[in-house]
Structure 1
Amino acid sequence: MGKKTSRNELPPVPEALAAAAVDSHTHLDACGAKTAEDVRAMVDCAQGAGVGRVVTVADDLDSARWAVEAATWDERVFAAVALHPTRTKDFGDEEKAALEELSAHPRVVAIGETGLDYYWDYSPPEPQQEAFRWHIDLAKRTGKPLMIHDREAHDDVLRILDEEGAPETVVFHCFSGDAEFAKSCVAKGYVLSFAGTATFRNAKSLREAAKAVPLEQMLVETDAPFLTPHPFRGHPNQPYCVNYTLRDLADLRGMKVDELAVATTATAERVFGLERG
């Protein structure tokens, strides 16, 4: 038997995919990257597993500023900027002005993550919803995709998108609904991004959703350092672990992993306007 890894150790780097993949949502800073050298090392590791490009995502202003800078350090890194819904209790003109400026940067490929989170009580629903509406407007004004965080708020997320008028491109990051909710989102033209949670063996309804989404509306992500895929659930996560998620979802969908990598990469290139790798 192979040596078991400690719960605080990263999973082993898997054999590289034959087709290049994209981690459509990660947090390189939360993974421990601070410098340009850190970022290059982390993306080098991912590329060694066949994950050649990443979108590093902000959840507050400091993270947003760092993400934009990090995206200038390495051509394989892109940024998304927004204020996470759990941080919207104090969301004023200063924060809006800063995000406006950052969102215009050419390395910023999405407005996110924004949305609603009714699981935590860090911010009441009302300021979350007001901030979500503002981010929807920002996405429409910049012409960039809206990257949604939706935790236990499916109905309100869809209602507000309908009320405000959704941007041309909407991505549900770390999709958490069942197959019926997935079909509702797909019917509206939204893109669904699946993280390691879709590989968890007790997530039956989510795994059914992952089988139901058309490939042209499907992305894969890590949300690293969180949500490490099976069989390393509970371990730290990094972008290279998209490899594990792709392998698992390919088996689930009854297709070859390289076919799924090609399809989700094409979706990422179209959605985020990434240069072809």
Structure 2
Amino acid sequence: MSAKDAPPPLPEPLGVPVADSHTHLDMQSGTVEEALAKAAAVGVDTVVQVGCDLKGSRWAAETAAAYANVHAAVALHPNEAPRIVLGDPDGWSRQGAREAGGDTALDDALTEIDRLAALPEVRAVGETGLDHFRTGPEGIAAQERSFRAHIEIAKRHGKALVIHDREAHDDVLRILAEEGAPERTVFHCYSGDAEMARICADAGYFMSFAGNVTFKNAQPLRDALAVAPLDLVLVETDAPFLTPAPYRGRPNAPYLVPITVRAMAAVRGVDEEAMSTAIAVNTARAFDY
């Protein structure tokens, strides 16, 4: 195993336990038990396991049912909806997808997300939203239809909504305003600037910061964190992605949350205990556990 592929060492444990508000255990190496044990050893006592498609959402619900300190979020990722509607991204045209029942397939998939969202171990509907980085213009209509449907599902079941927003800030905020956001809405891997953080704060949206807040080129994220109300701030790994510095590029996992928490505390000019306490309280409130 090369150094780049090697898991980073365990950080110093947090004094106040926190939750990883967004992780993908099914995309990480090792077992769920191993991941949870390593996380608990450094003060990360709860994780939110997030589904991105039907298979992953079912797995998230099953895993949350099996482990008391795992909560599930279920959804079709914004980039999944166009794949369902347009069919094979390597071949089918929009017309071909329509003839093959792409819109019906999306409806069927959303029906399954709706069924999963009713389960008690499922605490959120997400990650849903818009991604204008990976999906081109031909996929926008499917993304928006899926996003609006997920908002309705979250509200009807009284679950939190977890937002994926990549290069789509204005449209995400617009659709939330048009549909009426659920009472608890979380911007996962917050990627906006300080101005957007103020808009989210005014709306009562939670902002979850990932390991990229530690990156050298991420000053706009740190500026956003500096103005976000402390009672609306969460932390996440989005593991196996977005490993915090100095381990950027190596595999991420929930046990690395303390690195990001300490970086966040430094940005806010508060001590680690104050930051951890706020994050723990906020995450429990956001996901109602």
TM-score (normalizing by structure 2): 0.90
Aligned to 2:89: none
| 1:54-113 deviation line (CA, Å, top 9, x unaligned) | 000000000001111111221111100000000102252221221111111111010000
CA contact (8 A) 1:40 1:74 kept: no
Shift of 1:32: 3.0
Aligned-partner residue type, residue 4 of structure 2: R
Q: How does 1:39-54 map to 2 (within 5 A)?
A: 39-54=32-47
- Secondary structure at the counterpart of residue 25 of structure 2: coil
Which residue of 2 is the match for residue 77 of structure 1?
70
User: Over alpha carbons, which structure has the higher Rg?
Assistant: 2
1:111 matched to 2:125: yes
- Shift of the alpha carbon at 1:120? 0.3
Q: CA deviation at 1:256?
A: 0.9
Distance across 2 between alignment mates of 1:92 and 1:181? 31
Q: 1:14 aligns with which of 11, 14, 28?
A: 11
Normalising by structure 1, we get a TM-score of 0.94
Distance in 2 separating the partners of 1:153 and 1:93: 23
Q: Which residue type is aligned with residue 163 of structure 2?
A: I
Gaps of 5+ in 2: 85-104
Q: Does residue 194 in structure 1 map to residue 191 in structure 2? A: no
Q: After superposition, where does 1:115-194 map in structure 2 within 5 Å?
A: 115-121=129-135, 124-194=139-209
Q: Which amino acid aligns with 1:21?
A: V
Counterpart residue identity of residue 65, structure 1: R
Any unmatched runs of 5+ in structure 1?
none
Identical counterparts, % of pairs: 49
CA contact (8 A) 1:180 1:209 kept: yes
Aligned residue among 32, 37, 60 for 1:67? 60
Residue 109 (structure 2) aligns with? 95
Residue 150 of structure 1 aligns with an amino acid whose one-letter code is: D
TM-superposed CA distance for 1:200, in Å, is: 0.9
User: For the residues of structure 2 that align with 1:92 and 1:192, how far apart are their CA atoms?
Assistant: 29
- Other-structure match for 2:284: 269
* 1:6-59 per-position Cα deviation (integer Å, ceiling 9, x unaligned): 1111110011111001000000001135xxxx2121101000010000000000
> Match of 1:245?
260
State the AA in 1 paired with 2:81. Answer: T
- Counterpart of 1:97, as a letter, is T
Name the structure 2 match of 1:223.
Answer: 238
Aligned residue for 1:29, secondary structure, equals helix
**How far apart are the structure 1 equivalents of 2:111 and 2:224?**
38
Query: 264-273 vs 119-128, which deviates more?
Result: 119-128
Give the Cα separation in 2 of the matches to 1:249 and 1:171.
Answer: 17
Note the alpha carbon deviations across 1:184-224, whole angstroms, 9 max, x for none. Answer: 11111111000011111211111110111111100000000
Distance (Å, rounded) in 1 between the aligned partners of 2:54 and 2:124: 15
Secondary structure of the 2:48 match is: strand
**How many Å separate the matches in 2 of 1:258 and 1:230?**
21
CA-based RMSD: 1.2
Matched length = 266
